[in-house]
Structure 1
């Protein structure tokens, strides 16, 4: 859309009363350039992250040599088990012994992740019911989507 068309469309708005055409055209052009630059910057950042992940992939073990929970098969299975409410019908040790993937981790660590998963779900429920929570939840969805895209391209 040309600047003149935009100006004519919005010139009756209260916010545009004091905006002369000669200023509007230049300002709109600068604004469009900023948007393009911002979009290019986010693409460059995403490409740089993919590049860096190829050089330095995510560690599978922490500094103590223990398996990392984040991104592990056990994490995905625990989410599924909590969805199925197995954490209610079973004790933590029964849940721990129910899958071999859980046993790659210390029982104490596993138990902590069960509680962490429950806390996360309570917080997400809060996010769905409050305005502040909805704004925060929307930001987290964007972050998680970008993280998943980066991890997906990392595995390719």
Structure 2
């Protein structure tokens, strides 16, 4: 499309004047093409880096387990569904502490108490937000 055709397409272009519109449009098109080419290369390099990283992880899995893919996450959601976090400790007569929930299942102890406790609070807070939206 010719610069003159583009110029008449939008009334906003009139304030910039027709004399420099053609060269400015070509410069803009060149800059966009350069940025697009750079972005394409970045995507290619990123894809290569990710494939290398995934290949390395196959051979050397991370030592630190991921909560989001763990059995502990599923079990905690079930326990919260069943109200375990709201139950009363028979010894103290108060609401059960996260540490006591942590001791209930060996899957929980694959993570530190601090990490586990934070996920209890996070899950309870998430559910409260979901209830308030309905």
Consecutive unaligned residues of structure 2, counting only runs of 5 or more, are 88-95, 130-134
- Could you tell me how far 1:81 is from its partner in structure 2? 4.5
| Residues 9/87 of structure 1: CA separation in 2 closer, same or farther (3 Å cut) | farther
Structure having the higher Rg:
2
| Deviations 1:44-88, CA, capped at 9 Å, x for gaps | 213312222202446442xxxxxx242451453266358637463
* 2-structure distance, mates of 1:96, 1:69: 16
* 2-structure distance, mates of 1:15, 1:119: 55
The equivalent of 2:9 in structure 1 is: 9
Aligned residues: 113
| Deviations 1:10-63, CA, capped at 9 Å, x for gaps | 4x21696255112212321321331242133124213312222202446442xx
The equivalent of 1:133 in structure 2 is: none
* 1-structure distance, mates of 2:76, 2:13: 51
The equivalent of 1:84 in structure 2 is: 81
TM-score by length of 2: 0.54
| Deviations 1:80-134, CA, capped at 9 Å, x for gaps | 35863746324324432443311334xxx23x124423358869x99xxxxxxxx
Asked if 2 retains the 8 angstrom alpha-carbon contact of 1:86 and 1:95, the reply is: no
TM-score by length of 1: 0.49
Consecutive unaligned residues of structure 1, counting only runs of 5 or more, are 62-67, 127-156
Asked if 1 retains the 8 angstrom alpha-carbon contact of 2:71 and 2:107, the reply is: yes
Asked if 2 retains the 8 angstrom alpha-carbon contact of 1:78 and 1:114, the reply is: no
Asked if 1 retains the 8 angstrom alpha-carbon contact of 2:102 and 2:109, the reply is: yes
Residue 25 (1) aligns with residue 26 (2): yes
